[in-house]
Structure formats: C-alpha cells, structure tokens
Chains A and B, each alone.
Chain A
Amino acid sequence: MRKLILSSILLSSLLGTISISVAAADKLVVYSARNEQLIKHVFDAYRNETGTEISFITDKAAPLLVRLKAEGKRTPADVLITVDAGNLWKAEQDGVLQPLDSKILSKNIPASLRDPDNNWFGMSVRARTIVYHPGRVKASSLSTYEALADPKFKGRLCLRTSKKVYNQSLVAMLIARHGEKKTEAIVRGWVANLATKVFSSDTSVMKAIVAGQCDIGIVNTYYYGRLLKKDPGIKLKLFWPNQKTHGVHVNISGAAVTRYSKHKVAAQKFLEWLSGPTAQRLFADSNMEYPANSSVPANRIVQSWGKFKQDDMNLVQAGKLQAKAVMLMDRAGYK
C-alpha cells in the first residue's frame, strides 16, 4: 500500500507539469533558437511592461521546427524565434507560420528584412563583414567578398566552417547575385587562399588573425564587438565590403507567429512590441546587433565602426538558395 501511494505521488509529480503548460490568456509560449541570455531579458521587459508571462524553450531551429510541425494544431507555441532567415523561410515552407497584417510591423521593419507575405519579420540585423589585421593589411587592398578569391590573398585568409548557417546565407546571397557558376569560382578562390583549416567559430577566426596565422577573415560584427569589449586595444579592424556594388551581407534574428497559435492577437502584439523602440534598444545593446527598426540607433560602440550600405535583396533568397549554397560549398571543397 505504501508503495502504491508513493508511486502515485511520483507519477503525479512527473506529469505535474500539465497544469503549468495550460496557457492562460495573458500567457505566451515561445520556441526560441535565439539563446536564453540573448532573449530572456527581452521577455522580462515585456512582462514588466504588459504583465504577459512568456514561457519558452530554447533549442536549435531545426529540432524546434520538427516539433512545431509534429504538434500541428495542438502546438502550445505562439511564437517562433530564430537567429537566421533561412530557418524562418523553412518554417514558412512547412506551413507552420501565419501571415500578419500589421501596419506597425510594416512600418518598423524594412521590406528586405521580412517575408514578402509577412509570415516572418527580422528583429535585429547581423552584418557579416570582413575583418583584418591593420598592421599586415592595407584597407585599400580590400574591396569585396568576391575579391577575397584573388590569388594575391593566397595563404592569408581564415574562414569559419561552411556548416554554419551564416556562411550558407552569405553564399546563397552570392548565388542570387551572380548565379551558381560564378559563385562556385569565388568560393573555390576562397578555399585556395585559406591559411589553415576552417574554424568552428567566428571568434577563433579573429584570434587566429591576431596570432598571425592569417590576415583576413569574414565574421559577424557582434563577435568582433565582444572581443573588443574584452580587449579594447585588439589588433583587428572591420572593413565594409561591396560598398560600390550591392552592399554588406546581412542576416537577421527574426520572429513569427505560429499558424495554430491560440493567442494570435497577443502574439501579434508581442511581435509589434519587439519591433518597437524598447525591444530594439535591448537587441542593440545586449548583443551589439543592429536594430532592424532604422529609427532606433545602434549601440555607441557599434556606431563607432562607421555607417555602411547594406545588401537590400530580400532575405527570403537566403532560405530559398541555402541548399544550393551548401551543395556548392561541398563541391568547392569548402568544409
């Protein structure tokens, strides 16, 4: 008998989360591929302002997407957040998002940073640019991503792995501009110029440049910002490429309302708030990303890196061409 009571207590405690996961009206559930320390303070700020509680789980975008799809119309999730456009595009293709008709979002978020059918919206902008060692490289010798394939940079280039979505998006956008053939030649050129095996993170790329293993790399600016914060005198500089052509490649961290959200109105309100000044400032300051809403200024340090022209081709291309980009990089030997 005691065993029976014990096991029933145990069982009810195991399933006890049911009651918690039943969402009330002033509650939202978020599936987030943006990690906890880059998003939780945003949720907290929203709760303080509106009283809306937000429960969330974090994971990589791909498993979250599978879960969302499998749960179908019974999903508890109201909002999906990712750190790249490709996965939002995939979510839209999988039919798990719903379009929003929102004047606020249309006004706050530039057209190139959101889905043409308004299924998803970029909330912060991540610029992927060239970084170099000022002692060993003259800024005047740099010009474009494409030019990094020039043999004059042989043995001087460091890159992050092609498995990272940021590089997949970059190459996808190159394909959108130049077509596959020319892009493959460019990527082959990069690979031929590599000073060492590709790295597993942007930070390692920059550390290798500082240590003298190579001179030039391609990184997201906020990683540079993080290193700069630790060591303000670091021997690294950013260069804005393609200013005379299509501009610096940008990606987004974005959000979308799920198709079967039970709190559509509240979810849309949350997204509108995300695009507004309070949240945009949080994005800008906490991780030194660029606000998607151009009326909100970037962080002071970030501003000091200078203004630049950014690529305004719609990011839906990054998703559409991602698989092509991955295959192309495989062919070109970019690991």
Chain B
Amino acid sequence: MENAVSGLTKNETHQQAGLSAWLNVNTHYWRYSSLLIALVIAIPVLVVFAAWLQPAGDVWAHLANTVLAELLSNTFTLLTGVGLGVLLIGTGLAWLTAMCDFPGRKFLDWALMLPLAVPAYVLAFVMVGLFDFSGPFLSGLRAQGFDTVSFPEIRSTAGIILVMVLAFYPYVYMLARLAFISQGRNLLDSGRVLGLGPWAAFYKVALPMARPAIAAGVALALMETLADFGAVSVFNYDTFTTAIYKTWMGLFNITAAAQLASILLLFVIAALYIERRLRQRARYETDSKSSKELRFTLTGFQKLFAITFCSTVLIVAFVLPVIQLFIWAWEVIAQDLDSRYFRFLFNTLFLGLFAAFLASFGALMLAYTYRLRPDRFTKITVRLATVGYALPGSVLAVGIMLVVVWVDNKFLEVIQTVTGLEIQPILTGSILVLIIAYVTRFMAVAYGPIDSAFGRIRPSVIQAARSLGAGNWKILWRVSMPMLSGGLLSAMLLVFVEVMKEMPATLLLRPFGWDTLATRIFELTSEGEWERAALPALALILAGLFPVILLIKKSRDR
C-alpha cells in the first residue's frame, strides 16, 4: 500500500488493508489456499492464451477482410441490448416483489426465478419454433386471412436480444431482490424523512446501495451472453463466439480459434476491472433487518402495472415455452421415455449438487480471503479464479482436457519408468475432472452472490467476534455464515442450475456412460431433432424447478 497508515482514518484503513489490519489474525493459510484454487482454475485458461505462441495462418486477414466488422458490431449490439434489458427487467421485478405489495406478489416472488431453469438454447428454439414464418402463430394468422409478410421477424437482432434477456434476467432479479430485502426499509425511510420522494428515494438510496449486487447480476448475464453458442446458433446470429467455433470447426484452425477466444477473455477482464474500479471506494454495509411488514402497498394504476409487468415476463419467459415443450414432448413420450431417464436425472442432479457445494465452498474461501486482506495479491487471485465463465464452453472444455491429459501422461510415464506397468489414464474420463471443470467454469457464478453478501456485513460485527476471541474459521462459520446464508444459497442454486444446463464440458469430459439430460438434448439436437429434444429439455427444467423453488422460499422466510 502506498498510503501511510498513520494518515488515514479507521474506515479508510479498513478499506485498503482489510480486516486483517486490525483483527490480528493469520492470513497466510487463507491466501495460499485461495491462490491454489485460483491456479487450478486459471491454468486451463492460460492454455488457451498459449495459442499465441503458434502462427495462426491467414485466418486473421481473412476475418478482417470479410466478417469481422459485422460480428463485432453484432456482439456489441447484443451485449448492449441484453445488458440494458436484464438491468431494467431484473431490477424492476426485484424492486416490485421485494419492496412493494400487490395481489399475487407472494407467488410472483418465487415464480419469477423459474426461467433460470430454462436453458437459453431451449428458449431460443421454442421461440423460433413458435414465432417463425412457418410456426403455429404466424401460420394460424395466415389461415385467418392475415398477411404476415410485414410482421416483425423473430429471427432478428431484436428477437435474439429478447430471448437472452428473458433467459438471463433471473441473475439480476435474484441478486437485486436479495439486496433490496436485506437493505430493509429503514434507510429508505430516512431518505424519505430527509425530503426525498418515493422515486428519488429509490434512485438515490436503494439503487446505489444495491449496486454491487445488480452489477454482479448484470456481469453474469453479459458473460453468459458472450459465451453463448447455442441460442445464437438457433437464430443464426453471428457473434464473436460463433466466429471462434467456425474458425475451429470450419477452417480447422484451432490455434486461431484459441487466439480469438483469448481476445474475448481479455475484453471481459477489462470490463470487469473497470466496473470494480468505478465502485471501489464505496461501502455497502447494512443492518440486516427483514422488511417483511414494511412494503409499499401499491394501488390503482401502479398496482395494475405491477401485476401486468410481472406476469407478462413470467408468461413469455416460462409458461409459454413450457407449454410448447409439453406439446412437443407429448408426441414422443411413448417412444422415447424409458428407464434411462432415471439415470440421466440422477447423473444430472449428482453432478449439479457436487459442483454447487465445491464451487460455493471455494468462492467462500476466496471472498473471505478478500475481506481479510484486499491487496493486489488477493485481487489477482480472485480475478484469476473467476475468468472461466466468459470463455465459450467448448474452448474452456478443451483447455481443461489438454491440462488433464498432460498431467495424466506425465504421471503414467513416471509410473511406467518406476514399475514398468502400462496402465490406463487415471484423471481423464473421471468424474473428478468433470466436477473440477464445472468449478472452473462457474466459480464466477458462485463468487458474485457470496462477495456481494459479504459486502453487506458490517466490519464491526466481525471486529466484535474477534475481540471475543474467535479465529478465522469461527468468524467465517459462526459469525459470517448466518448473515451470508442468502448469498450462499443463491450461489449454490446458480451453480447447480448452471451445471445442469452445461453441455460442452460434460460432453467432452464425462466418463463413459455418464450421460446427463443436457447431453441427451445434444444427442437429439445435433441431427436437428429439436422437437424430440423437448422431452429431456422439459425434464431438465422440471428437475431445476425443485431447487429454485426450495431456495427462493428459504431466502424469503429468513
């Protein structure tokens, strides 16, 4: 730290040196454990960067001369549209269900989380299936004598943005909702007492206070957007990510593809860095008090608006797609549904749960280490540990696979030299590697909610615990944990659902026979049988519903 500690007030000291400065606790153990987690995660990503050591041929010149400008502008448009969309819809919905009261609120409060269980590629397919020229909606209108030629096309920029907003707004909704709930009404009322109107109180008090949570949610949605390949493929909307796949699979140039992917990643790292810089100086601690009884009761036009807005989002993002999936699934259920689905379901849930626990535990360690001592070392550690999310899934999967196979080969060489035995690879094709892959990919998902929950704990609470003699573990488990439980549950839920939906890493790294619902969807869609894929897609959504409902209810009862 360049500042001399003596010149700072107590709060400033806390800001820059972290808890450890005045808690007098040992931080080495935490710092190095966190670094270890970060390295395991970062190495596969660094492998992607290693592509720069090799020549990529004429691919760059080709891209620059042909499609690069368009796909950069497409990517930018998509990010802007999805970013604004999830910000407005996610925050708006969260405000309404967390701080206001209107008929149906209790139901919508958790129901609005349900779209999280719908994979973006499934939503994209359903929307195109329903609203394309040959779909039932426009065909039905034509049968009634309407001329649908001038109707807006679903397979358009607006269409893909709409689908992604509907698929990704739950990230923002979930985190913003939690932030609003834990803020309580006290602060808001103070604002009102000081003469702010209700809107001004929202803009000047509630929103800035919830900013870390909202920013974390939007960041997740944007990274998901950047890495998406499934939904944009259905829309045939060319982005940076589709170019990566095309370079790899069409041009047979994996080096250039990895170079493109690393540029994508640099872009994400820069964006996250800027966002964190912008809010570095602010503090967000609150008194965690439930605001159950203190909601704003909406009346008249406001009530009508709230009900219409919330239920429209729910219907378009969830009810409609699920009904359509039911209709498609019904046609194939007799021929396709068999006992294998138990296995698919078990595998899906097992992998999801396991990865959710592991990722949340890792994120908790990272976040606590960051609270202890947020110096450059820890900041880099955290940054390293959360970079995997923005890489397109297949690229990251290949990065992990290369590392794992390399480790395996080295290990087997040693075994062979020492014992003379020729044995099979140990890590490659084991469940452990698959789980590590999930943690690598979804650490950012777990870290966001936990970090923003940490940000809301007053340091004085931890200070008090320390002065009563609690060590690091005790501070974390006994003191922080109860206050973190909302964030922790969110983290686990998010990772769980993400893992359930994950496709590329599961395909490449799963052990023989470890098919999941998501790989089942792949099997059917890879030869275009999207309607038949409705069955596993529906099973996936239904399986995802259970944890979504459970956890959202828990976070409300708290």
Contacts and interface: CB of A to CB of B under 8 A. Distances in A.
Contacts of B63: 330
B252 interface: yes
Nearest to B431: A14
B528 A14 contact: no
A213 B252 CA distance: 34
Given A17-B430, A18-B430, A59-B508, A327 B236 contact: no
Nearest to B514: A17
A15 interface: yes
A63 B507 contact: yes
Interface in A75-90: 76, 83, 86, 90
Given A37-B523, A322-B250, A323-B253, A74 B425 contact: yes
> Which has the most chain B C-beta neighbours within 10 Å: A22, A55, A326?
A326
Interface in A230-285: none
A36 B528 contact: no
Nearest to A13: B431
Nearest to B409: A74
B429 A21 contact: yes
B528 A201 contact: yes
A335 B236 contact: yes
Contacts of A168: 250
A8 B70 CA distance: 53
B512 interface: yes
Interface string A197-220: 111111110011011010000000
A35 interface: yes
B526 A60 contact: yes
Nearest to B129: A204
B250 A163 contact: yes
A71 B425 contact: yes
A197 B236 contact: yes
A185 interface: no
A168 B242 CA distance: 16
Contacts of B202: none
Contacts of A38: 527
A323 B252 contact: yes
Main secondary structure of the interface of B (DSSP, over half): helix
A147 interface: no
B512 to A, nearest CB: 4
Given A55-B513, A63-B397, A207-B134, A200 B252 contact: no
Interface in B165-220: none
Interface in B129-180: 132-134, 139, 153, 155
Interface string A103-133: 0000000000000000000000000000000
Contacts of B251: 322-323, 326-327
Contacts of B435: 14
A11 B510 CA distance: 17
A157 to B, nearest CB: 15
Contacts of B406: 70
A303 B134 CA distance: 29
Nearest to A90: B252
A72 B409 contact: yes
B259 interface: no
Contacts of A202: 528
Interface string A51-70: 00001111111111011001
A38 B532 CA distance: 14
B3 to A, nearest CB: 44
Contacts of A23: 424
A198 B132 CA distance: 12
Given A59-B507, A163-B242, A211-B139, A330 B62 contact: yes
> Contact size class for A?
35 or more
A83 B132 CA distance: 28
Contact of B512 (A21, A197, A198, A199): A21
B134 A70 contact: no
A98 interface: no
Given A14-B432, A70-B402, A74-B412, A20 B512 contact: yes
A80 to B, nearest CB: 14
Contacts of A100: none
A200 B527 contact: no
A165 interface: yes
Contact of B233 (A11, A64, A200): A200
Contacts of B412: 74
Contacts of B128: 200, 204
A161 B139 CA distance: 23
A35 B507 contact: no
A46 interface: no
Given A66-B398, A202-B528, A15 B432 contact: yes
A213 B134 contact: yes
B461 interface: no
B236 A62 contact: no
B458 to A, nearest CB: 33
A143 B527 CA distance: 28
Contact of A197 (B155, B245, B426, B527): B155
Contacts of A226: 529
B64 to A, nearest CB: 11
Nearest to A17: B511
B526 A17 contact: no
Interface in B494-536: 504, 507-508, 510-513, 515, 519, 522-524, 526-530
B508 A67 contact: yes
B131 to A, nearest CB: 13
A200 B234 contact: yes
B330 to A, nearest CB: 14
A63 B431 contact: no
Cβ-closest 4 pairs across A and B: A211-B134, A207-B134, A326-B250, A59-B507
10 contacts: A14-B435, A17-B431, A21-B424, A37-B524, A58-B507, A63-B504, A199-B236, A200-B128, A210-B134, A213-B134
Given A62-B249, A165-B249, A201-B530, 7 more contacts: A14-B432, A17-B430, A21-B424, A21-B512, A57-B510, A70-B401, A204-B128
Interface of B: 62-63, 65-67, 128, 132-134, 139, 153, 155, 233-236, 238, 242, 245-246, 248-254, 394, 397-398, 401-402, 405-406, 408-409, 412, 423-426, 428-432, 435, 504, 507-508, 510-513, 515, 519, 522-524, 526-530
